[in-house]
A and B are shown apart, each in its own frame.
Chain A
Amino acid sequence: MNLSAITLHVPDQSKIAGRLDFVMVASGALLILFLWAHLLLVSSVVLSPAIMNALAHFFEATYMAQVGGPAIFVVMVVHFILAARKMPFEQGEWKAFVTHGRMLRHKDTTLWLVQVISAIVILVLASVHVFTVLSDLPISAAKSAARVQGGTWLSLYLVLLPMAEMHVGIGFYRIGIKYGFISSARRAWYQRAEVVMMGGFVGIGLLTLARLYWLSI
């Protein structure tokens, strides 16, 4: 009998820690791919609202939006719970990390705090956003434009967009580091790539918002 299930005096020999880490990283990677695809899809409105409508129709006719949307939301929540295990929620931990960050003045250490804070912002804002979009199907350029022109949604997106991009950009780099896909020799290159990518996607997002803002409905 495996006594570790009954008493903590017997150390657990399970593989759970590694599996959870794997799920954390895999869900993060999935969300990165999703966000990039998402921003590119929505940005189709820049070319023409008709293209965005056609794409939206495709995703709804195939039920990818109705099923995939909530699925992505679940992935996001799972990712948050797993990643939050590392967050400095206890005041003492927060103090230790911030003191450390101030002492070291080290880019990758500071960027981790950015990731922690952006994670909380995304959790709240993306939930609101997903709920609104999915409870008002079908998606159309006209409805999106009405939301953005309403003003409240515009300010929400102007916060969510850079937060999501920063989180995803830093996350991409950190997955590469943690799992050894980025070697020390290539680290500087990836750090630059990370910044370019973030800038690029924020740019695309802003362009999309601008287009929606000035779209005549």
Chain B
Amino acid sequence: MNRKLHIKIFRYNPLDPDSRPHMQSFHINEYDSMTLFIALTQIRDEMDPSLKFDFCCRAGICGSCGMVINGRPGLACHTQTKDLPAEITLHPLPVFKLLGDLSVDTGTWFRDVGTRIEAWVHGNDAAFDPAAEEVRMENALAEEIFELDRCIECGCCIAACGTARMREDFLGAASIARIARFAMDPRDLRSDDAYYDVIGNDQGVFGCMGLLGCQDVCPKHLPLQDQLGIMRRMLALHSVKGILPKAVIAALKHKGHKGCCHEKH
């Protein structure tokens, strides 16, 4: 095989007044098990040291190398060139602030939404006893929570979301899945009302239009579709408590989900 790859890269330095956005072509030889990260490193080492792109772990763990690969947001280190056509177009992730070329600032964005949804365990700090043994958790539940904790905040789901691109203040699938993670966690003492206050609005679950770009690009395969559905139904039903008959709400409740709506409080 060993194809000659034609890689077209978006180039722009927003800090340089003379810089104009343009696409630049690079030609490199493909070799076995080459990833896009390797290809980009080779271009930077051998052809253009000014090329900006982010990476750190090279193993799909740190979430820094997200970019738009032939139209699809994905991780450069997680994408093998053999799975792509010989012509590869690379853009920076939309939504996030462009730092230059393929590099964007996802950190500031995630920090902001993290603050808005209060992405931390809300325990009873006053009652915390550092000497006491840690409370144990059922293994099955721990695994379920970990399933959502695997999010690496790469931003691909945000960049693939039509809602996030239209509306700057949309929290995105990662944030909603994050709240689902806290809703499952018995150590988080927030009430359904408190969850409603942070994501029960048109910037949160009710803003999502069910386009599922998020689900289809998440490189860590988080169950975003299912969690969005669970959280939206839970919070919508919460909002009509006292209006709709109890029996109707009970009939519509999500079955078999341990996370939300359980009587933990």
Contacts and interface: CB of A to CB of B under 8 A. Distances in A.
Contacts of A100: 94, 162, 165-166
B196 A18 contact: yes
B51 interface: no
A34 to B, nearest CB: 20
B254 interface: yes
Contacts of A106: 160, 211, 213, 216
A21 B215 CA distance: 22
B187 to A, nearest CB: 25
A104 B160 contact: yes
Question: Looking at chain A, what size class is its interface with the partner chain?
Answer: 35 or more
A131 interface: no
Interface in B24-64: none
A105 B232 contact: no
Interface in A93-150: 93, 96-97, 99-101, 103-106, 108-109, 112
Contacts of A17: 200-202, 206, 239
A109 B211 contact: yes
Interface string A161-190: 000000000000010011111111001000
Contacts of A86: 163, 207, 209
Interface string B206-244: 111111110110000001011011101101111110010
B193 to A, nearest CB: 8
Contacts of A16: 239
19 contacts: A13-B197, A16-B239, A17-B200, A18-B200, A18-B206, A22-B237, A97-B162, A97-B165, A103-B71, A103-B91, A104-B71, A106-B216, A108-B213, A109-B162, A112-B162, A174-B210, A179-B232, A184-B223, A187-B212
